């Protein structure tokens, strides 16, 4: 794909996806302004690019209206990644506020100059739909409002509707991307970064890997470079405008198999036992529901965006394990 240089605004640039996307955009010769309030992201993630001539970092909160008032008006694309994720251990108010008011602020900014807007949504909006594989125009089946995880899905669904309503009422293009569990370098090193980062830490520390339920729930985890390829194509291609896309891989794996694969990949000295924790023993004190199967239909992304996840899970996990091992080693050395 040959594209001319674009000026791109990325919110959440210091987070996991944002920082990986930043490298891709700069490598392709684009100019990037990135916003992040560093609540979950870090300067380390963008350290390699912070002095790049085509990158400006703005440490601001997207909840504050002053943030958008101080931005340039000549962006070609806005890629809106800043958000809070599933409020597993509290923070539901922050999730709902950032993912509603924060997104609304960014859409208002897009509206001013009629700038193309790419929204980060999530596979979580499919909830417990039995219609496997999930298609973009399929039904979305969310559970009980007393289960905190659905606050995240609802907030992202609200974002999708808000973006589509802005497109219709104010006549500028939006694209909605439903990401399926991405992992890789720069992933957050806590539960926020997903099971890969938690399991790898257990393996590195020889502590027991906790698996919720019987471990038979499945996912199709996506290596970050493949996720970034989807975001990039959606931002560049006019054919994507007005559409919703699943951005994910097709290799379905149970959570138990994920833990076993990581144990196989790890060095001989790094191995961990696995313990199944029944859902009613998960000690958050809040009602819990899991998604038992999550598989995307990726044919629309292949057809229109021209992207297909290429990285085999074993290979992506090996790269991620090596990266996390080095990060933890460096942290230990720094602490001495």
Ligand X SMILES: NC(=O)c1ccc[n+]([C@@H]2O[C@H](COP(=O)([O-])OP(=O)(O)OC[C@H]3O[C@@H](n4cnc5c(N)ncnc54)[C@H](O)[C@@H]3O)[C@@H](O)[C@H]2O)c1
Binding marks (x or -) toward ligand X, 19..58, rule CB under 6 A? ----------------xxxxxxx-----------------
Query: What's the count of helices (H) and strands (E) in the chain, helices before strands?
Result: 11, 13
CB of 118 to ligand X, least distance (A): 11
CA–CA distance, 221 with 314 (Å, rounded to integer): 11
Rule CB under 6 A: say whether 17 interacts with ligand X: yes
- Joined together, the tokens standing for residue 204 give 């590195």
Whose Cβ is closer to ligand X: residue 63's or residue 261's?
A: 63
Rule CB under 6 A: which of 144-183 touch ligand X? 179, 181-182
CA angle, corner 223, sides to 213 and 107, nearest 5? 95
CA–CA distance, 99 with 154 (Å, rounded to integer): 9
Single out the residue of 50, 52, 54, 61 in contact with ligand X (rule: CB under 6 A): 61
Whose Cβ is closer to ligand X: residue 140's or residue 276's?
A: 140
> Which residue is listed with tokens 């606050």?
151
CB of 163 to ligand X, least distance (A): 13
Q: At what angle do helices 313-335 and 195-205 cross, to 10 degrees?
A: 60
CB of 24 to ligand X, least distance (A): 13
Contacts of 64 (CB under 8 A, 6+ apart): none
Rule CB under 6 A: say whether 87 interacts with ligand X: no
Q: Are 19 and 186 in contact (CB under 8 A)?
A: yes
Helix H or strand E encompassing 276: strand 274-277
Rule CB under 6 A: say whether 103 interacts with ligand X: no
Rule CB under 6 A: say whether 85 interacts with ligand X: yes
* 57 upstream amide cis, omega within 30 of 0: no
Single out the residue of 8, 31, 34, 102 in contact with ligand X (rule: CB under 6 A): 102
CA–CA distance, 312 with 253 (Å, rounded to integer): 12
Whose Cβ is closer to ligand X: residue 50's or residue 63's?
A: 63
Residue 1's CB: how many other CB atoms inside 10 A?
Answer: 9
Rule CB under 6 A: say whether 202 interacts with ligand X: no
* 133 upstream amide cis, omega within 30 of 0: yes
Ramachandran angles phi, psi of 170, nearest 5°:
-120, 0
CB of 123 to ligand X, least distance (A): 6
Rule CB under 6 A: which of 110-129 touch ligand X? 120, 122
Rule CB under 6 A: say whether 188 interacts with ligand X: yes
CB of 120 to ligand X, least distance (A): 4
**Interface region with ligand X, contact rule CB under 6 A, candidates 7-15, 47-55, 314-322, 326-334:** 7-15
CB of 318 to ligand X, least distance (A): 19
Interface residues with ligand X (CB under 6 A)?
A: 12, 14-18, 35-41, 61-63, 81-85, 98, 102, 120, 122, 179, 181-182, 188
């Amino acid at each position: 794909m040959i594209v001319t240089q674009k000026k791109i605004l990325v919110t959440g640039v210091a987070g996991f996806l944002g920082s990986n996307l930043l490298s891709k955009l700069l490598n392709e010769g684009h100019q990037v302004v990135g916003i992040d309030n560093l609540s979950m992201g870090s300067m380390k993630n963008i350290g390699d690019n912070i002095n790049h001539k085509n990158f400006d970092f703005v440490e601001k909160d997207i909840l504050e209206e002053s943030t958008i008032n101080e931005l340039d008006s000549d962006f070609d694309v806005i890629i809106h990644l800043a958000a809070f994720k599933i409020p597993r251990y509290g923070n539901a108010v922050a999730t709902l506020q950032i993912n509603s008011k924060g997104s609304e602020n960014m859409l208002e900014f897009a509206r001013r100059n009629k700038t193309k807007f790419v929204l980060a949504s999530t596979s979580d909006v499919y909830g417990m739909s039995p219609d496997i594989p999930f298609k973009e125009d399929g039904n979305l089946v969310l559970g009980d409002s007393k289960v905190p995880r659905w606050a995240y899905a609802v907030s992202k669904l609200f974002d999708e509707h808000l973006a589509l309503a802005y497109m219709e009422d104010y006549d500028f293009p939006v694209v909605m991307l439903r990401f399926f569990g991405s992992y890789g370098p720069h992933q957050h090193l806590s539960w926020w970064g997903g099971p890969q980062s938690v399991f790898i830490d257990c393996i590195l520390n020889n502590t027991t890997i906790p698996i919720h339920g019987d471990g038979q729930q499945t996912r199709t985890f996506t290596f970050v470079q493949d996720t970034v390829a989807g975001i990039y194509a959606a931002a560049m291609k006019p054919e994507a405008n007005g559409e919703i896309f699943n951005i994910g891989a097709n290799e379905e794996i149970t959570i138990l198999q994920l833990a076993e694969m990581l144990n196989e990949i790890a060095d001989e000295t790094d191995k961990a036992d696995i313990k199944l924790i029944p859902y009613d023993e998960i000690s958050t004190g809040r009602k819990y529901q899991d998604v038992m199967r999550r598989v995307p239909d990726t044919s629309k992304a292949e057809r229109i965006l021209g992207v297909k996840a290429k990285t085999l899970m074993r290979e992506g996990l090996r790269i991620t394990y090596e990266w996390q091992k080095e990060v933890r080693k460096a942290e230990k050395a720094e602490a001495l």
